[in-house]
Amino acid sequence: MKWLKRTENQTLLAILLAIAVGTLWPGITQFEVLGKIFLRLLKMVVLPLVFTSVFSSIAGLGTLRSFERLGLLSLVYYFCTTALAVFTGLVLVHLLHPAAPISFHAVPKLKSLNPKDLLLDLFPENMVRSFAEDRVIPVLFLALILGGACLQAREKGLPLKTLLDSLNETLLALTRGIVRFTPVGVFFLVGPLVACQGPSSLLGLGGYILTVILGLAFHATLTLPLLLWLWGKVSPWRYFLAVREAPFLAFSTASSSATLPVTLEVAEDRAGVRPEVAGFVLPLGATVNMDGTALYEAVAAMFIAFSYGLSLGGTQSLLVFLTAVLASVGAAGIPGAGLVTMTLVLQSVGLPLEGLGLILAVDRFLDMLRTSVNVWGDLVGVKIIDKVLARSGSF
Ligand code: ASP
């Protein structure tokens, strides 16, 4: 069968099979280690890849002017789409008004987040330690400023650029090797998860789950494709078919960061995005641009408010809107990160952090969905930005 020869189709099949096997055979949890090995391989390449791809992309731009254009366009795209996602979530949650009778199974122990700490976290205190501690955001920042500095250094910076370009290509070749195992890895990630959590954890929170799913579906199948079509002049369906492996993997890993090597690979190799654009927009997007997470945070905060019998007014809804955008920017691309940064949203409108206990049981499942939307949002963005820059003749 020709259809089954493609890794992306095998990956989809592996997800469906894993759901069936995980439901019927709890013993699959014994093989969880195979999924974990696959995840480790991906995580192993992420940090160096973030560094080399962002650095090479900026150092390859030629001028600081092009860097500014690319950076500005990316930020505009990230902000507009995240705001649209939150808006969709807020409209839906007000229409459907989901609420749950309050009964806490587990109260999460979460320390409250402080926007100042989030800001401080951006800046590396020690270049080497940021790598050793596996911290993506300071590494990203480092790559941005070093890439810019390399441009400034002109021909003196060229040997460093050549070296990091070569490391970047080598890491991408390694990624291509790891990607061949995606169907197997995905099977052993999703199967044990379904066996452990089971569909029963989804009961009782139907209205909330439905609101998040409808919002994510609206954003992923209408808003983003429309932008791609209007702004990027690309057929959304054809583009999705070319890059679908990345959202599938995002669903299985619930991590934008772990998916990043594959996101880069599909964008460059299968969708023809120029490496200097993909190398900048995608690593940045994987940490900054999280449409799915932002939408979920807004819906979840409102759901918690409704469950406590509160109804938030216009100013408070605006606060939820703004903090949900901010909290999604601050969320790392790892499983459950959105749940942690949601403390920001709850605090902004004075909702008790214990409210998170209400949604904990279904968080992993919704995390898988919102991460797919996060990655799809990054992929739509990179194509639009690539097209817009090419049309304007910037580079
Ligand atoms: N897991 C999400 C991601 O990696 C972040 C979140 O928890 O919403 O994109």
Walk me through the domains of the chain, giving residue ranges and CATH numbers.
2-392 (1.10.3860.10)
Q: What is the pLDDT of residue 113?
A: 59
Tokens for 70, please give them: 């690319």
Q: Which two tokens stand for residue 394?
A: 């910037």
Instruction: Give the tens place of pLDDT for each residue, 192-248.
Output: 888 887 666 556 688 899 999 999 999 999 999 999 999 999 999 999 999 999 999
Residues within a 6 A CB radius of ligand 1: 254-256, 290, 293, 331, 333-338, 367, 370-371, 374
Atom of ligand 1 nearest to the CA of 328: 8
* Ligand 1 mutation pick, 367, 373, 375, max ligand atoms within 8 A of CB: 367
CA dist 122 → 105, 115, 322, 331, 374 (Å) = 35, 11, 20, 12, 20
**Is residue 63 predicted with pLDDT exceeding 90?**
no
- Which contacts (CB < 8 Å, 24+ apart) does range 385-390 have? 385/70, 385/73, 385/74, 385/77, 385/277, 385/281, 386/232, 386/273, 386/274, 386/277, 386/278, 386/281, 387/231, 387/232, 387/233, 387/234, 388/73, 388/231, 388/232, 389/69, 389/70, 389/73, 389/277, 390/274
Q: Which of 105-119, 136-150, 156-170, 343-357 ranks highest by mean pLDDT? A: 156-170
Q: Rounded to an integer, what distance in angstroms lies between the CA atom of residue 8 and that of residue 22?
A: 21
Confidence of residue 369 (pLDDT cuts 50, 70, 90): very high
Q: How far is the CA of 338 from the centre of ligand 1 (A)?
A: 6
Query: Which tops the pLDDT comparison, 67 or 113?
Result: 67
Ligand 1 atom closest to the Cα of residue 335 is 1
DSSP H or E run through 174:
helix 158-179
The CA 134 to ligand 1 mean position distance, Å, reads 16
What mean pLDDT value characterizes the chain? 86
